[in-house]
Chains A and B, each alone.
Chain A
Amino acid sequence: MTEAEIIQKAADGDARAVRALYDRYAPRVYAVVRRIAGDDELAQDYAQEAWIRAIRALPSFRGDARFSTWLHRIAVNAALQALRKAETRRRREGPVPEQVPVAPASGDALLQRKLEGALDRLPEGMRRVLILHDVEGYTHDEIGDVLGVAPGTSKSQLFKARAKMREMLTPLGGTTKDEGVEVWGI
């Protein structure tokens, strides 16, 4: 069965077709939502909301864009909207650490963990722009549309976010030891 056929069946409410779409795209949806949310618990709620919206909107999907792109945009919007709503009662905010201490590990897993940890600790506005641009590949115009800001603002936030990430991931003075906890720069 082609993806178009699966989508058509899912739009008609076929549970198996919806499950097939979920199996195919859930990791992608969850990844972007998780990074925007910066929190596992919120991420699951936001991802669910994204799927609900997507399945509800499926009958209006005409195939002008790739389904993955369409779904991704819904996920981003759902997460951003939910985040805005939750803004005032966020429980996750804390002081931004100067460094991210991590236990030694090896290879890509360590690098990914470091990056994910630093992303979670970025201030909200910076994190959204950095994720959308550097992780998800959005242009500044697209980010402007999604976030409702000018492309120039998006650029400015991006450069700040990159610099902040770099600060968090690199020990001051370039040392690699800090009171017995190894801190790994990129």
Chain B
Amino acid sequence: MGHLNGEALARLVDEAPEPAERDHLASCDACAAELDALRAQTDNLGSLPELLPPQGDWQVLEARLRSEGLIKDPGLFARLGLAETPTWMRAAAAAVLFLGGAALGATVTSRGAQSRLAALEGDPIPEASVPSRARVQGPAKPASVDEAAATLHQAEQNYVNALARYRELVADRDQGRETDPRSRFAALEYLVAASQAAVRQAPTDPFLNGLLASTLAERQATLRRISTQQGNWF
């Protein structure tokens, strides 16, 4: 019997040899060595490692998944346990956070709200009504990228704090607990301030303007409630 050809040897990697093949392999060092090499090749193929996808692969995939509506980001609010926040407020907050207007351009404080409400009621806003450090303050131009980033982060945090506070108040009302209108007003006032700051960054943006209008309307309604209740509130 002549030498075994490549395909026959390749078959013998998996299958038992015919008697004639077995006899040949026993007497032919070249074919036996070739079969060993084919077995090694097969083993090595089975041990090939996984391969890393190219850089940026996830970003491309994520964009496609989003465009097809296959994924949705739980978002900051869900992560903060604020998933039940009214839709318009979540949208407003997202837009405001995205623009970072509060941090980088505006100089708005909630002091005006406090003074207006104090004038209305002759009573200061309770300290607990406004989230700690929850002032939308617009600093001077940042001196560095790091400073701008830190300021933006702080502004975002302030906004989220305000939203969280407002959400608590809405939840109280929804669960039948009496909500202090002054607290609601203060929280809304802060949201208005943040929204105004965003609109300053993009004054012609109809979406932001719409959100600001919604927030103002909500604040106005709260203010009316305070006015009508003023007589029997205390």
Contact = CB atoms under 8 A, between A and B. Distances in A.
B44 A115 contact: yes
Given A27-B50, A30-B53, A159-B7, A170 B71 contact: no
A106 B44 CA distance: 15
Given A26-B57, A30-B50, A55-B65, A163 B70 contact: no
B61 A48 contact: yes
Interface string B49-63: 111111001101110
B202 interface: no
B42 A34 contact: no
A115 B51 contact: no
Interface in B1-42: 5-11, 13, 34, 37-38, 40-42
A15 B45 contact: no
Nearest to A185: B37
Contact of A47 (B41, B50, B53, B74): B53
B225 interface: no
Contact of A112 (B11, B49, B65): B49
A16 B54 CA distance: 20
A52 B67 CA distance: 11
Interface string B63-75: 0110011111110
Contacts of B11: 155, 159
Interface stretch (A76-84, A90-98, A130-138): A130-138
B44 A111 contact: yes
Interface of A: prevailing SS: helix
Contacts of B38: 162-163, 166
Given A15-B73, A16-B74, A22 B61 contact: yes
Contacts of B74: 14-16
A80 B7 CA distance: 25
Contact of B71 (A27, A31, A48, A55): A55
B37 A134 contact: no
Contact of A162 (B42, B71, B73): B42
B10 A48 contact: no
Contacts of B61: 22, 48, 51-52
B7 A135 contact: no
B44 A48 contact: no
Interface of B: prevailing SS: helix
A137 B42 CA distance: 11
Contacts of A35: 48
Interface residues of A, number: 47
Contacts of B72: 13-15
B122 interface: no
Contacts of A185: 37
B46 interface: yes
A135 B46 contact: yes
A62 B12 CA distance: 39
A142 B114 CA distance: 73
B53 A44 contact: yes
A44 to B, nearest CB: 6
A34 B51 CA distance: 8
A165 B57 CA distance: 31
Given A112-B49, A134-B42, A135-B45, A22 B58 contact: yes
Interface string A27-48: 1111100110000100010011
Interface in B51-101: 51-54, 57-58, 60-62, 64-65, 68-74
List 7 tightest A-B contacts by C-beta distance, closest first: A163-B6, A162-B10, A27-B50, A159-B10, A31-B51, A30-B53, A134-B45
19 contacts: A16-B73, A19-B62, A26-B57, A26-B58, A44-B60, A48-B64, A52-B64, A52-B68, A55-B65, A55-B70, A56-B70, A112-B48, A115-B45, A159-B11, A160-B10, A162-B6, A162-B41, A163-B6, A164-B6
